[in-house]
Chain A
């Protein structure tokens, strides 16, 4: 019983990281029909940002890195969108392959810049220890995810920019003829989505070492969150990420680590039998 409770914060913090990663994916996928495999490398960029800031900010690097990583990863995303992805809107399979090429290059670049071995980011002293079974670092990650979701929700529902984003997501052509600059909206979505991946990268430095392949460990799971949650749906992503994080950690705990991923995949395929389009579906009359 105690072990079951102990597993809870681990599962939830994995879910929180998955959520931060999946938010960017679900919006770029839902709004632009783009699958960004290089998203994992934005996570890595965020983590290395924290590592680099260590020399200047010392143990508070993680805190300082949050806004910086958001900007760094966001700008990387923006560049990718401007240079390559915008030519491929609505062709998810091609963007998937294209961005995989980008991801290969970025990984090798990280290997050349920072070396192949993993590096460590020192957590701030005030994040060490914990309350009972709740380690502070996992609590911090959880708070980070909650904060990001609230911010995104507010952005989408309470600002005019966010409402334009929703309009484009629901019907691009209709939004365009209503005078919305869809290209501008796409850029913003890409910036924010990639930036969130950067924040996820900073969060990951709290629970593990940083390496060039950091993103590849999480990207597949994050995509599964998008599939299970439904495209471009905030609520779906939250529930799916929490469920997947918990499922992952409990499956690992009860069986063994190697079976966990198989169980997760089987559960997702089973879930798609009931809800082929994910938890929440964006209703549209258009037929592909």
Chain B
């Protein structure tokens, strides 16, 4: 067990081989991606009943946030415990537009209840859908850029950063709950009726929304993957594994980290904006310390070093949550806690790590059988090639 724990950091990407990977290896990734995409975009809407499809859309929203966490934490080593804040910013931006749209020039219902007489100035621009959507992404990005610039420039990192982001999540919730007339307080924003002229309760609209969420997730996944494979991504991983060394090489880790953090925040914001019409509510309970941590848990379960693992983890945990809390609500907390303890202590690389380990084991078996003459291959030039997809995929 200690061996797994110690070898937490994935091996360095392989030195460029003289001949690139074989055609079969190069096609494997795109093939799997296409398969999953077809499954999600064609099969799921045809086969699932509207209720389940709606749930799946919700999980996929969480998966978008998880993708951002995978980027910031798995690749960049920044454990962000405040993604819920960015998710909430996007969600509230969208919720405010929907509320104003439904009210049709009047005050939103909850404001009337809490005795607000005039539309607050903060709300006015959100009557414009373009502004709302742009803000849902730009707001979190700007907040993350500001926070990142302040924090990373001072070399505040690791656990300190985690604590600060967690405090941000806690403070945001208290702020939202306290400003009843502005934010709907504990209840948040809910009771939405239409989006861009479409009835939100209609199955057709929800199916359309599902397709949009799935497509956005797919595009963001490809973008994130490209980012990780670029020079920028290499730098990010290098910073995760030895920030001071990268600084000595003349790079500025603060910039790289801030940009990555902002990208992950933008993803969370977009996910929040998609989440609101899908689920029909955004409230402080959906973005506080606990939901933010739960998403980190999901990423850890799926496999933090792999973007696909992060996505898979979020969908699986979302599904597990729904099915278990339908059966026994209290048991879920035990299960979640226990699962988490087990994953962190026994399989820190998550499901994808286990998968890669199993594949390596099989590969090592076949290799040692076919080339007994070569002797010890462990750590040799061929070794990491098998491991590479896990570190980068």
A: residues with CB less than 8 A from B are 29, 35, 84, 87-88, 91-94, 96-98, 100-105, 107-108, 111-112, 216, 220-221, 223-224, 226-227, 256-262, 264-265, 268-269, 272-273, 276, 287-288
- Whether A96 contacts B151 by the Cβ 8 Å rule is no
Task: Pick the residue among A112, A227, A288 that contacts B243 (CB under 8 A).
Answer: A288
Docked Cα-Cα span, A287 to B243, in Å, equals 10
Is A101 touching B340 in the complex (CB atoms < 8 A)? yes
Main secondary structure on A side of the interface with B = helix
Q: With A93-B79, A101-B340, A259-B175 in contact, is A223–B333 under 8 Å at CB?
A: no
Known: A87-B345, A96-B79, A256-B178. A107 touches B333 (CB 8 A): yes
Question: B139 to nearest A CB, angstroms?
Answer: 16
The answer to whether A92 and B341 touch across the interface, beta carbons within 8 angstroms, is no
CB pair B175–A102 under 8 Å, yes or no, is no
Pair B344/A268 contact, Cβ less than 8 Å: no
Report yes or no: A273 in contact with B344, Cβ–Cβ below 8 A: no
Known: A108-B333, A108-B337. A29 touches B159 (CB 8 A): yes
A104 to B337, CA, bound (A): 6
Indicate if the CB atoms of A227 and B341 lie closer than 8 Å: no
- Report B66-96 CB contacts with A as 1/0, cut-off 8 Å: 0000000000010100000000000000000
B341, A98: Cβ atoms closer than 8 Å? yes
Within 8 A of A (CB), among B157-183: 158-160, 162-164, 166-168, 170-172, 174-179
Instruction: Tell me, rounded to whole Å, the shortest Cβ–Cβ distance linking A250 to chain B.
Output: 16
Q: Are B170 and A261 in touch, CB under 8 angstroms?
A: yes
The CA of A259 and the CA of B175, in the complex, are separated in Å by 6
Contact A94–B167 (Cβ < 8 Å)? no
Give the Cβ gap from A279 to chain B, nearest Cβ, in Å. Answer: 14
What is the CB-to-nearest-CB distance from B242 to chain A, in angstroms, rounded to a whole number?
Answer: 9
B336 to A104, Cβ gap below 8 A? yes
Q: How far is the CA of A265 from the CA of B103 in the complex (A)?
A: 35
Q: Is B334 engaged at the interface, CB distance under 8 Å to the other chain?
A: yes
The answer to whether B158 and A92 have CB atoms under 8 Å apart is yes
Q: List 23 A-B contacts (CB under 8 A).
A: A93-B158, A93-B159, A93-B162, A94-B344, A100-B293, A100-B340, A105-B333, A105-B334, A108-B333, A220-B166, A220-B170, A223-B163, A224-B163, A258-B179, A259-B175, A264-B171, A265-B167, A268-B164, A272-B150, A273-B154, A276-B156, A287-B244, A288-B243
Known contacts A265-B168, A269-B164: A259-B330 contact under CB 8 Å: no
> Is B219 an interface residue, CB under 8 A from the partner?
no
Given A87-B345, A112-B330, A265-B167, 16 new contacts (CB under 8 A): A87-B1, A92-B162, A93-B158, A94-B344, A98-B340, A100-B293, A101-B340, A102-B337, A105-B341, A224-B167, A257-B174, A258-B175, A258-B176, A272-B156, A276-B154, A276-B155
Task: Report which of B154, B289, B337, B341 forms a contact with A220, defined as CB distance below 8 A.
Answer: B289
- Shortest Cβ distance from residue B8 to the other chain A in the assembled complex, whole angstroms: 7
User: Cα distance A101–B338 when bound, in Å?
Assistant: 7
A84-B345, A258-B178 are known contacts. Are A111 and B330 too (CB-CB below 8 A)? Answer: yes
Query: Chain B 193-224 against A: per-residue CB contact (8 Å), 1 yes, 0 no?
Result: 00000000000000000000000000000000
Q: Is B2 an interface residue (CB 8 A)?
A: yes
CB nearest to A216 among chain B residues: B289
Binary A-proximity of B284-315 (CB < 8 A = 1, otherwise 0): 00000100010011001000000000000000
In the A-B complex, list the 10 residue pairs whose CB atoms are closest, starting with the nearest.
A258-B178, A101-B340, A104-B337, A105-B337, A261-B171, A276-B154, A92-B159, A108-B333, A101-B341, A101-B337
Any chain A CB within 8 A of the CB of B5? yes
With A98-B345, A102-B337 as known contacts, state yes or no: A223 contacts B167, CB within 8 Å: yes
**Could you say which residues of chain B place their CB within 8 Å of the CB of A107?**
333
- Say yes or no: A261 contacts B174, CB within 8 Å: yes
**Pairwise interchain contact B334-A265, C-beta atoms closer than 8 A:** no
A216 CB to nearest B CB, Å: 7
Q: Is the CB of B174 within 8 A of A96?
A: no
B333 partner residues in chain A, CB cutoff 8 A = 104-105, 107-108
Residues of B within 8 A of A220 (CB): 163, 166-167, 170, 289
- With A220-B167, A261-B171 already in contact, the answer to whether A97 and B296 are too (CB < 8 A) is yes
State A256–B175 Cα separation when bound (angstroms).
Answer: 10
B160 contacts across to A, CB distance below 8 A? 227, 272
- Bound: A91/B177 CA distance, A: 34
- Chain A, residue nearest B248 (CB): A287
B348 at interface, CB cutoff 8 A: yes
Residues of B within 8 A of A257 (CB): 174, 178
Residue of B nearest to A222 (CB): B163
Cα–Cα, bound, A77→B96 (Å) = 45
Minimum CB distance partner of B79 in chain A: A93
A268 to B26, CA, bound (A): 49
Which B residues, 330 to 386, have Cβ-Cβ distances below 8 Å to chain A? 330, 333-334, 336-341, 344-345, 348
A256-B182 Cα distance, complex, nearest whole Å: 14
Whether the pair B297, A105 counts as a contact (CB closer than 8 A) is no
B272 to chain A, nearest CB (A): 19
Inter-chain CA distance A268–B168, complex, in Å, is 11
Q: Are B337 and A35 interface neighbours, CB within 8 A? A: no
Q: Please name the residue on chain A nearest to B288 by beta carbon.
A: A216
B311-337 to A contact mask, C-beta < 8 Å, 1/0: 000000000000000000010011011
- Residue of B154, B166, B171, B330 near A223 (CB, 8 A) is B166
Closest to A97 in B: B344
Q: How far, in whole Å, are A257 and B333 apart by their CA atoms in the complex? A: 30
Residues of A within 8 A of B341 (CB): 84, 98, 101-102, 105
Question: Which A residues are in CB contact (< 8 Å) with B2?
Answer: 87
Q: Collect the chain A residues with CB atoms within 8 Å of residue B174's CB.
A: 257-258, 260-262
Does A258 lie within 8 Å of B177, measured CB to CB?
yes
Residues of chain B with a CB closer than 8 A to A262's CB = 171-172, 174-175
A228 CB → nearest B CB, Å: 10
Q: How far is the CA of A92 from the CA of B163 in the complex (A)?
A: 11
